[in-house]
Structure 1
Amino acid sequence: MNSPDQINEMAGIKYWTIPGLAGSNAAHWQTIWEQLRPGDFNRVEQDNWDWPVMTEWTKRLNDRLLQASSPVILVAHSMGCLTAVHWSRHYASEKVVGALLVAPADAEQSERLSFVEGFAPIPIQKLPFPTVVVASTNDRYMTAGRAAYFAEKWGSEFIEVGEQGHINASSGLGDWSFGQRVLKDLTNKVKPTK
């Protein structure tokens, strides 16, 4: 990313980005990370980015994980966070060793997301791998208080980043060096798999 050692390479770990509604455009930090480290970052593609359906999105993630040959850290944004959390509730894979959950979307309370299918209620069980939730204080898709609540339920470290909107392309973060540091710290906490 900014520097070759910004995110430690460790035990062949791969990073799988899980975008949210509408996918992540060219100015989104997820896309930038994929372009800067194409060998390490890969996107979990969905058939329809504009109409999230929980069963379809989680199945696509699981289908990809069945083909994984290396440990994976999920790097999710918005509805992608809910995809990761619902996936964890319905499926299991030892390949997932951690998750960075950025700006989770509130499928329960956000009127903007009233059309999404199957994502509410949001699971509140502890996730079986290390996770970090990053939230903004002026995110129109989930309040920081709600994000902190879910982070506690999921057993996640919680980081509030101030007023950064939905922490997406519109936030103007570029390659989001702060997020890179958070991911590096999470990677360092992950125990290498045997």
Structure 2
Amino acid sequence: MIEMNSTTPTVLIVPGLREHVPDHWQTLLAGKLPRVHSVAPLEHDKLNCAARVDAIDRALAAIEGPVIIVAHSAGAMMVAHWAARGATREVRGALLAAPADVETPMPPGYPTTEALDQHGWLPIPRGRLPFPSIVAAGSNDPLTRLDRAREFAQAWGSRFVELGAVGHLNPASGHGEWPRAEEFIRELSSTSDVRAFESARAS
């Protein structure tokens, strides 16, 4: 449980392209947190990356005080694009779980690489994120190879955490609640000194 005080950050939930799934760990997490806000589902242009980034901007504008972003799957890529566009809102940290590798063909049922390219997802931004971040990835994720997730973490300046055989960390891979998300949020919440976080990331 995350204890609440006057400096407790608001957690901004950034889901993937399938948005808010009732039994997804992000949805369940939102029901447990003292301060939480979610990026609203899009009514139109659901595959448009710029529209997704605009939705993050709108969600952040509605939040006062410190923010921690909790993103999953393509949501992690939305955050990378948002930061690359020139983040104007201070963010205390971000948890980027099971980032979807939109540059590599994904399994049937997911958008094609060509469609993602046409809608502004490619290339994946590789600039260092302007806030502390944690990339958490599984060793058997059908949407991202572990070495690719590690590459993203290095490019973004993120601490990398290998989760083991957790698939895509979603209901389809047998995951509802994910208690480690709260652990990572606590870590990011206590990272008031970026230099201390950098030291932890390098260790």
- Tell me, yes or no, whether TM beats 0.5: yes
Kindly provide the amino acid, as one letter, of the partner of residue 94 in structure 2. Answer: A
CA distance in 2, matches of 1:143, 1:171: 15
Structure 1 residues 48 and 138: CA distance shift in structure 2, 3 A: farther
The match for 2:85 is: 90
Kindly provide the amino acid, as one letter, of the partner of residue 137 in structure 1. Answer: S
CA distance in 1, matches of 2:20, 2:103: 22
Query: Quick one: which of 28, 31, 35 aligns to 1:32?
Result: 28
CA distance in 2, matches of 1:85, 1:8: 28
Runs of 5+ in structure 2 lacking a partner?
195-203
The match for 1:54 is: 49
Judge conservation of contact 1:23–1:49 (CA < 8 Å) in 2: no
CA distance in 2, matches of 1:66, 1:147: 29
Judge conservation of contact 1:46–1:57 (CA < 8 Å) in 2: no
Normalized against structure 2, the TM-score is what?
0.84
The match for 1:113 is: 111
Moved over 4 A (4+): none
Kindly provide the amino acid, as one letter, of the partner of residue 29 in structure 1. Answer: W
User: CA RMSD of the aligned region, Å?
Assistant: 2.0
Count of aligned positions: 186
Query: Quick one: which of 186, 190, 193 aligns to 1:188?
Result: 190
CA distance in 2, matches of 1:13, 1:149: 28
CA offset digits 1:78-106 (Å, max 9, x no partner): 01101111000113234311100000011
CA distance in 1, matches of 2:44, 2:2: 28
Shift of 1:121: 0.3
SS at match of 2:23: coil
